Structure 1
């Protein structure tokens, strides 16, 4: 079956975005389907409108977000600083090359008008994963023909549960067109059920549907000096300075290989890894420290000792997906709560994670088999 997948795909430094695209396509191909990425550019107007809704939600419903404005000012400055140095680093990351070499995709990059006027042809369409349900209607498959199979697999709302009435009305209409709705977070499941999709289920991120053998195919060797801590930080605020992680590494006699993305700014030297190098560095690390969901996922897949640093400063809602993952893997203790000295450099127990991952792979495979086999074009 020919399947078109729409998700975020334009980042130049978000490794999780690239890897969830690769995972979804590789998983579907292993099932025997022909799969391609639908390249799409978001509407600035829709994105800006939704961001404003987020602001109002924070300020009105959560007292702790009264500091949101101050944090945004800090982040705006951080982004300006980051932009001046990011261009050359992002060129070295070669994300466009990764897509060209590993992903089947449309030649045309669609926008909200062209995708409605002349949608890509497929038997089935999938929206997901990533935090795509927070803007353009194309991510709800509004362009997909009525007689096509329409699947939402692991889209996220980023923890948002309240929307403007007009947005929610349109969302309700579109999710009722879908043949299957599987959300990445429990909060997303609850929103969909509130909107009338009582059959909504929770599914795992597509990166959890592959094994190390699948990711080893895209690994790129590096010359990193061992042993080292792999430090991967996004620009979202955390309760620790980067120096803290370097001091911890020094106390353990370990080097630090530091990769950063999405606006992370500090005075430490960073390595602009390609996607395959990012996996290689993680897979060979003595320990991984990160505030990233996908870095946590890959650390577990590769059985690396990982400590996850929770987000702060109004971004706590985004910790939900990590907490849910670690709870299901019975590894809740890997969330950093006080200091790193509580973690001994001994083996983590990944048995429960492996069992959870295998169970979810069977469950997701079953969902796809059922909907693709029983729905006629």
Structure 2
């Protein structure tokens, strides 16, 4: 039996990305399949140049590159911060080494990827994360365009990240989406996009991290205390100062210290002084444990919200992005809607609802329904026997 080739974002310096890859691997292997994470390294060739040229006109892609460079430049101005971020990146890399042992050989260049991967796998799966963001479209990898027409192509909980696709990119999206035999997404907006572009009825499934409950996650990533005293865990990827103000209001009210993991997605000047504990020597297991042992969780992160829910925490989710066509709030919108947790979205004052009890019994009922339906989708799409 050939392996299932996984096109997943396993080596990103992002806790949520690593957790959803780990969950995808564990669940597919639990269903009886052998998996391999496809390692693709781009190589300059005529094909690469033809594929890459359109990205020069992809505004979201260019903006993402500019923002990334700005962040690096600002961090490099602070010697200690640069060293701290390197230490955290080393922890990310070690997590890959420790937990993702099923890596393929490295396919160097598009031609090698096409030839060797189609020899090695009968089925290809791209899994979760915001792999279909407009600025990612030009890579042609997470869209499985390297897989032959006769190979089974499955999308599990793959996210567009936005609620609308720019008009100039719709033709490209329609082309690659129509090559999938099985399509699913983790947000309602993504389901609507697929319907509009292809006429297909995609399944809304849960993020891979929700395929396991808190007890199962405890076996995958055992519990360890990272901070010994009571604390508020603030996991902010955005740069909104008001969110930090609200955290300080809660800290003053409760007397609990604030724990942060700063400078992940953005360089935020405020984060040089925000929080009582600024954590850098932290890997993905530590991230989960910081949520497990927090008294309260305040976050603008999708996976910060997910692991708060899994661990029955009192939490508030802030909007990282302003609303509108380019907003990337849709995955959190869907999560809260599907689990009836809209009251955990921040409105005006953190003290209005942070102390309110959450009906986690009802949440677990809805979550189990979604989890079971999602596992059924995986069984059907992969052809599992259990």
Q: Is 1:349 the equivalent of 2:359? A: yes
Over 3 Å counting, the alpha-carbon distance change for 1:202 and 1:223 in structure 2 is: closer
Matched with 1:60 is: none
Whether the aligned pair in 2 keeps the contact of 1:307 and 1:334 (CA below 8 Å) is yes
Distance, in Å, in 2 between the alignment partners of 1:27 and 1:112 is 29
Matched with 1:292 is: 301
Moved more, 185-194 or 343-352: 343-352
Distance, in Å, in 1 between the alignment partners of 2:318 and 2:21 is 25
Matched with 1:99 is: 96
Distance, in Å, in 2 between the alignment partners of 1:306 and 1:158 is 23
Matched with 1:196 is: 198
Distance, in Å, in 2 between the alignment partners of 1:215 and 1:46 is 43
Task: Show structure 1 runs of 5+ residues with no match.
Answer: 56-68
Over 3 Å counting, the alpha-carbon distance change for 1:32 and 1:141 in structure 2 is: same
Distance, in Å, in 2 between the alignment partners of 1:164 and 1:87 is 42
Matched with 1:184 is: 186
Q: 1:23-55: per-residue Cα shift (whole Å, max 9, x none)?
A: 100111111111222234578947954751579
Matched with 1:61 is: none
Distance, in Å, in 2 between the alignment partners of 1:209 and 1:95 is 23
**Alignment partner of 1:233 out of 228, 231, 236:** 236
Matched with 1:11 is: 12
Distance, in Å, in 1 between the alignment partners of 2:106 and 2:54 is 21
Matched with 1:126 is: 125
Matched with 1:115 is: 113
Whether the aligned pair in 2 keeps the contact of 1:124 and 1:149 (CA below 8 Å) is yes
**Alignment partner of 2:272 out of 243, 262, 267:** 267
**Alignment partner of 2:346 out of 336, 348, 366:** 336
Calculate the TM-score normalised by the size of structure 1.
Answer: 0.84
Q: 1:291-320: per-residue Cα shift (whole Å, max 9, x none)?
A: 000110010011111100112457872122
Shift of 1:87: 5.2
Whether the aligned pair in 2 keeps the contact of 1:4 and 1:124 (CA below 8 Å) is yes
* Count of residue correspondences: 358
Distance, in Å, in 1 between the alignment partners of 2:215 and 2:86 is 27
Matched with 1:361 is: 371
Distance, in Å, in 2 between the alignment partners of 1:29 and 1:123 is 16
Distance, in Å, in 2 between the alignment partners of 1:91 and 1:239 is 26
Moved more, 110-119 or 331-340: 110-119
Q: Is 1:52 the equivalent of 2:67? A: no
**Alignment partner of 2:292 out of 276, 283, 287:** 283
Matched with 1:63 is: none
**Alignment partner of 1:162 out of 139, 161, 165:** 165
Shift of 1:175: 1.7
Whether the aligned pair in 2 keeps the contact of 1:186 and 1:202 (CA below 8 Å) is yes
Shift of 1:285: 0.5
Shift of 1:352: 2.5
Over 3 Å counting, the alpha-carbon distance change for 1:337 and 1:51 in structure 2 is: farther
Over 3 Å counting, the alpha-carbon distance change for 1:131 and 1:49 in structure 2 is: farther
SS of 1:317's equivalent in the other structure is coil
Matched with 2:319 is: 310
Whether the aligned pair in 2 keeps the contact of 1:328 and 1:353 (CA below 8 Å) is no
Moved more, 46-55 or 179-188: 46-55
Whether the aligned pair in 2 keeps the contact of 1:238 and 1:312 (CA below 8 Å) is no
Q: 1:172-212: per-residue Cα shift (whole Å, max 9, x none)?
A: 22222211000122222122112224232222211111122
Distance, in Å, in 2 between the alignment partners of 1:106 and 1:179 is 24
Distance, in Å, in 1 between the alignment partners of 2:343 and 2:376 is 31
Q: 1:215-270: per-residue Cα shift (whole Å, max 9, x none)?
A: 22324624413211111111x34361524413421321111111132124222352
Whether the aligned pair in 1 keeps the contact of 2:233 and 2:290 (CA below 8 Å) is yes
Shift of 1:89: 2.4
Matched with 1:64 is: none
Moved more, 14-23 or 341-350: 341-350
Q: Is 1:27 the equivalent of 2:27? A: yes
